[in-house]
Structure 1
Amino acid sequence: MTLPLAPLHEAVAAALPEREAIVFRDRRLTYAEVAERSRRLANFLLSQDITIHRPRSELENWESGQDHVALYMFNCNEYVEALLGGYKARAVPFNVNYRYVREELEYLLNDADAKAIVYHGCFAPVVREVLADVPTCRLLIQVDDGSGQPLLEGAFDYEAVLAESSPGPTGQTCEPDDLFILYTGGTTGMPRGVLWRQADAYLSQMGGRYDGVNVVGSLDEAVRRAVNKKRYTIFPPPPFMHGAGKYLALRTLFEGNTLLIQNVTDRFDPADVLSLAEKERANLMLAIGDAFGRPLLDELRRKPYDTSSLKFVTNTGAIMSKGVKAGLMEMIPGLTIIDSLGSSETGIQAQNVSGAKAGVERGDFRTMADTRVMAEDRRRFLEPGEPAAGWLAIGGRVPYGYYGDEAKTKETFPEIAGVRYVIGGDKVRLLENGEIEYFGRDSVTINSGGEKIFAEEVEEALKHHPAVADVLVAGRPSERWGQEVVALVQLANGASPDPAALNAEAAKHIARYKLPKAFRFVDRVGRSANGKPDYRWAKQQAEGAA
C-alpha cells in the first residue's frame, strides 16, 4: 500500500464533511472546512510556484526536488492547515523550533533551503532580522495571532490569502514518494532534516500500520476505517514543531477523529490542559516524559478534574518514570499508558504498556514489525538472549536520508543483505523472549573508566528519591576516569540538596560505579518545549559543576 498524504486527507474529509476535525479556542472546524482551507492555501502556494520541480527518480537519497516551506508557529489550526496545504501543493512543510534565537533560526532556514515561511505574527521581528541572510526565501505568510505585530513588508496575510484563493482542486497528482520532512531537535548536535517518503511516514507514524502489525491496504480501506470506527477526541499538548505532536495531529485527521488543541500554546500549562480535557471529554493524550507527566500529576493532586473520559496516555520522546506513571494511574482510574521507543529517523520501534493489569514494574518493550537489534559493529543482527548490548534498528520502510548530508545518510542508513536499515542511536539488549531491555541513547553515553554508563538509567535511579522533581545526567572530563557522571537536579518544592541521600537511593537501583561523582542543583532542568532533554545544556552545566 502506497498512499500519499494529500489524497488521503481529501478522501476522509469527503466521507465525513460535517464531523468536527479541529477544536481550538473558539474555533470548531469541520472536516470539510479544514479541507477547503488547506486547498485554498495549496492553490496560493502553486500560484507562487512553490511546488515540485524534479521527480524523485532523478535524485539521490539526500536530495529533494520539492520546495520547502518553514512552519514557524505555536500549536494552532493554521499549523495543521499549512501542513496539509503544503502536501496538496506538492511542496514540503517542515518544522521550525520557535525557541530558536536568530543564529539558530538562520542556520535552520539555510540548511533547509527554505523557499517560504508561514509564521505567527509574534515572530515577525526575528523573521525580519534573519531574512536578509536567507537568500532562498521568497515568500512570507503571516498568521495573525493577536500580538499586534504589523505585516512585514512584502508578506501576505494568511486569512487574506485563503479568502482570495480558489477552494477547488489543485490539479496536482500527488505521488507516494513525495517528501515528508521532519527536522530533528538538535539536542545532541545540529538539527538535520530527515527525508521520509510520504507513504512510509504514514505507515510508520500516522496510522498506516494501525495495530503494530496490520497495514491499511488501500485508500478505500483507510476511509472505511475512519467512517466506521468510533470517533475519539485526541489531545496532543506537545508542540507540533516536534515530531510526536506533528505525527499525532495528522494521524488524528487521517483516522476521522477530532483534534483538540490547548488554549495556552506558548508553554505547558497543566491546569489549562486538564480543564480542556475535562470540558471536551478527551480520550487520548500525548505526553513527553516526566516534563509533561509530573506537572499533570501535581495538578491532579492539587485540584479534582473529571478525567473519566481519558483512557490512554501515549508517551514518547523521553522516559516517564515509574513513580509518575503509577501516580497518574492512581489519579485517573482505568488509565493505560503506552510508552514508545523511536526517533525522527526510525518511527516507532517498540512499545511498553502500563495499566491496571500490566502495572508499571515491567520495563521491557515489545518490538514492532521490522525492528531488529544490530551488533555493535553493525555487520550482523543479535540473536535473542545474547548478553551484549546492540543497536535498535529498523528495516524496510525507512527514510531516504538527511537533506544535504551524503556522509551522514550513508552512516545512519546502512545496508545489510540488500536491505536498508536505520539506526536511531538507542542501545538495547535482546532478551530470550524477543522483547528488549532499554539502556539509553548512545550519543549521551558516558565512558567512565572503560565502562559505558547510560545517562537515562542514572536519571531513572535518581528519580526514585522524592526530593527530585527533574534531573539530567551528563559526563565531564576526569583525569582518573576519562569521564565522570554529573547530575543536574531540579529539587521538588521545599526539598533541600543532599547529594549523599540521592546517591544512597540511586545505589538501590544501579551499580555504584554509575553513581554521580558530582551534583549541581539548578532552578530548572534544560528541556526543549516538547519535554525532551537538552543534553547540550546538560554537558555545559556538568563541565561547570563543583
Structure 2
Amino acid sequence: MPILSGKLKHDSSQGCSITFPKVQSDATFRQRERAVQSMAKQFHLADLFETVAATVPSKIALESDSLTLTYAELNARAERIASGLAANGVKHGDTVGIYLMNRAEHIEAFIAIVKLGAVPFNVNFRYREDELRYLFQNAAAAAVIHGAEFNDIMRALQPQLPDLKASVSVEDGSDTGTAGLIAYNTLLESPLLSHFERSEDDILLIYTGGTTGMPKGVMWRHQAFVFGCVGGGGYFNPSGPMQAPQDIADRAAKGYPLKLLPLAPLMHAAALWAAWSALLNGLTVVLDESRTFDAEAIWTKIEELGVNIVQIVGDAMAIPLRDTLRSHPERWNLQRLVNFGSGGAVFSQTVKDDLRDLLPLSATISDGMGSSETGISGPGATSTDGMMQLQSSENLKVVLDDRFAQAGETGIIARSGYTPIGYFGDPVKTAEVFRTIEGKVWVISGDTGRLEQDGMITVFGRGSTCINSGGEKVFPEEVEQVLRDHPAIRDAVVAGQPDARWGERVVAIVSPNDGAVRPPLGELREFLGQKLAGYKVPKALVWVDEVRRSPAGKQDYRWALSIAANAVG
C-alpha cells in the first residue's frame, strides 16, 4: 500500500488529483514504523471508524453499484445491524462469518461486527459444502452473514453447526426465500442498543487461503491490525501512522478527497486492508459488484467515478487490465488516477513497465508484500533481474535455523512488531510459526528470501513450493517471472514432479498470449537459459488455455501439481 504525499489540487469539474505524488522512501517507512512500536494506547476499529464518521458525516464512505452511503449513513446502519445481531443472541467475543461477494453490505457487516465487540472472519465464496462446514466449525461460528445466493447451502449446513445462532441472508434480487433464515434488512429495523462492550483484547480473524493446507484463522488484535495491516492510518496521509487515536479526526477532516477501488474480493486480506486504509482516512471506497473480472468495465468505472487509487493483486489482474488498455488506446481519461498498487501476489516487472507506458505520468505504480500472518511487510523494490526486494529492518529479517541470517544466506522471511497473536484454536501450528528469537516474537512467514550485502532481502516465494532438483533449490516464482517475459506467454506457474535422476524436475505450465505462436520446449529453454541457471530451467512444458488462480490472484499450486502430474507423469 502506498504512502502518498504531495499537494492536493481540486477542480469541481475534474475531481481531485495530487500534484507530484510519490511513494515515501523505505527509510521513512521504517522510521515511522519504529515510532509507533512504543505506543501502548488502545486502538479499536469501531472507535476509530465512529470518530471518522462523526468528523466527516456527509462524505461518501461507500460507492457501489447498488448502494452509496455517507459516513453517517454507514455508521447508523452498522449500529442497527450490530443491535440486530445482539438481539439474535450474538454477544461480545462471538465469531461471525462474512460470506458475501463484493458489495457494500460486506464492509457494513464488518463494521457492525466490530461495533458489537464480536469477531469477524472471512469466508471464501467459492467454497463447497464440505469446505464451508470445516471453516464454520473451526471458527465456532455464532452467526454467518451471507448472500441470498447461498441460502440453500446455509440451510443445509445449519443442523451441523452447533454454535450457530443466526444465519442472516442479504438480498440479491433473486427469489430464493428466507425460510429458516434472518433477512438482513430486518436487522436494519432493530432497536438500538445503548451500549456495546469492547476491549483492547478484541480480535479479528483472517482465514488463510488454504493453498498449502487447511485454512487457518489468524488472530489479530485491533491495534496490531491497525498498525500492522493498514499502516496506522498513514498510507494515504503524508503524516504517516497515527500517534494517538484522536489523530484520526484531524486526518479525516483535512484528508484528500480520494476514491479507492479494491479489485480483489473483500474476503481476501489485500482488499480488506485497502478498504480499511481508506476508511481510516475518510476516503471513499468504490466497489465493483460484477461477478466476473471485466477489464473494460473496470476502466470505464475508474473513469466515470473518478477513481484515484486502484488496488490489485498481482499479474492475474494486472495483465488483463494492461491488455485492455493496449487494445483501446486513448479510450479512457485516467488523469485522476494517482496510484496503481499491487500486493499479495507477483506483479511482474514486465507488466509494471508496460503499465508505466500506458498510464498517466501522474500515476505511481507500487508493489508491496504481505500475508495474513505478517501484515504488510513494507513497500517493495525490484532487483536488476526483476525479483521483488524488501529492505531489512529491526522488524523484518531473514531467519535460518532459529537465528538471523548473515549477508548472502537464504532463509525464511520473518516479521516482528505489530503481528498476530497466533492461529485460532491451533496452539501447535502457532508454536511452529510464531517463534521467540533473541527474546522477541517473530512470525515465520513461509516466504523464502536471501539477505543481500546491501541489506535488501530478495524474495523468492513460498518455501513450501520449493523444488529440489539434484540438490539445488528452485523457487517457482523466480522461474515464473522469467517465463512471463517471453512474448508468447501470458501467464505461468511452475511445479515439481518426481524424477529418477534429479529427485524432482521443474515443469512449466503456461498459457499463451492471444494469437501467439507457441514455442517448443527447446526454444523456451534457450530463452530461459539466458537468465537462469541450468538447473532452474524447466525440463517439461505444458500449455493450458488459462493458468488457474484464486479469486485474489494467487497461484493455485495444488492445481499446478495435478496438471504437471497428469501431463508428464
Q: Is the structural similarity TM-score above 0.5?
A: yes
3-state SS of paired residue (2:449): strand
Residue number in structure 1 paired with 2:423? 402
Whether 1:67 aligns to 2:94 is yes
Q: Structure 2 CA distance, aligned partners of 1:367 and 1:455?
A: 22
Aligned to 1:329: 356
Find out whether 1:159 has 2:211 as its counterpart: no
Q: Distance in 2 between matches of 1:84 and 1:210?
A: 20
**Residue of structure 2 in register with 1:349 after alignment:** 377
Matched, 1:372 2:399: no
Asked if 1:502 corresponds to 2:524, the answer is yes
- Change in Cα spacing, 1:69 to 1:26, as seen in structure 2 (3 Å) is closer
Whether 2:471 is the aligned partner of 1:450: answer yes
Deviation per CA, 1:142-185: give whole Å up to 9, x if none.
0001122211x3211111211x213x465124222200110001
* Correspondence for 1:289: 314
Q: Which amino acid aligns with 1:234?
A: L
Q: Secondary structure at the match of 2:206?
A: strand
Which stretch shows the higher mean deviation, 43-52 or 78-87? Answer: 43-52
Structure 1 gap ranges (5+): 53-65
Separation of aligned partners in 2, 1:97 and 1:252: 23
Q: Partners in 1 of 2:152 and 2:391 — Cα distance?
A: 46
User: Judging changes above 3 Å, is the alpha-carbon distance between structure 1 residues 233 and 368 closer, same or farther for their aligned structure 2 residues?
Assistant: farther
Give the equivalent residue in structure 2 for 1:524: 546
Matches of 1:476 and 1:465, distance apart in 2:
23
1:512 correspondence with 2:534:
yes
Q: Secondary structure at the match of 2:83?
A: helix
SS at match of 1:414: strand
Partner of 1:252 in structure 2?
278
Question: Under a length normalisation based on structure 1, what TM-score does the superposition of the two structures give?
Answer: 0.92
Identity, in percent, stands at 37
Contact preservation (8 Å) 1:373, 1:390: no
Partner Cα separation in structure 1 for residue 103 and residue 194 of structure 2: 24
Q: Secondary structure at the match of 1:194?
A: strand
Whether the aligned pair in 2 keeps the contact of 1:382 and 1:390 (CA below 8 Å) is: yes
| Aligned twin of 1:243 | 269
1:275 is aligned to 2:297: no
Cα pair distance change 1:259/1:213, threshold 3 Å: closer
1:318-374 CA distance string (max 9 Å, x none)? 1111121111111102232211112100011132258xxxx9976453437643323
1:203 aligned counterpart, secondary structure: helix
Of 369, 373, 381, which residue of structure 1 is paired with 2:404?
A: 381
Q: CA deviation at 1:250?
A: 1.9
Matched positions, count:
522
Residues 214-249 of structure 1: CA deviation (Å, up to 9, x unaligned)? 531212112211211212100101100100011111
Residue 67 of structure 1: CA displacement?
A: 1.1
Name the SS for the 1:259 alignment partner.
strand
Maintained 8 Å contact 1:464/1:505:
no
8 Å CA contact 1:204–1:347 kept in 2: the answer is: yes
- Distance across 2 between alignment mates of 1:37 and 1:453: 51
Which residue is equivalent to 1:55?
Answer: none
The one-letter code sitting in structure 2 at the alignment partner of 1:193 is: G
Match of 1:420 in 2: 441
Post-superposition offset of 1:494: 2.0
Alignment of 1:43-192 (within 5 A): 43-52=83-92, 66-151=93-178, 153-162=179-188, 164-166=189-191, 168=192, 170-192=194-216
Which residue number corresponds to residue 508 of structure 2? 487
Q: Is the 8 A contact 1:237 1:287 kept in 2?
A: yes
Letter in 2 for 1:500: G
Offset from partner CA, 1:44-88 (integer Å, 9 cap, x none): 112223122xxxxxxxxxxxxx21111111101100011000001
> Equivalents in 1 of 2:66, 2:127: separation in Å?
29
The superposition leaves residues 383-433 of structure 1 with CA deviations (integer Å, 9 ceiling, x where unpaired) of: 4xx111122111122111011111100010001222111011111122232
**Per-residue deviation, 1:190:** 1.0
> C-alpha distance in 2, partners of 1:310/1:296?
14
Take 1:69 and 1:534, find their aligned partners in 2: how far apart are those partners?
A: 27
- Partner Cα distance (1:213, 1:480) in 2: 57
Query: Match of 1:403, as an amino acid?
Result: F
Q: Does 1:339 align with 2:371?
A: no
Q: Which residue is 2:15 aligned to?
A: none
Q: Gapped runs of 5+ residues in structure 2? A: 1-40
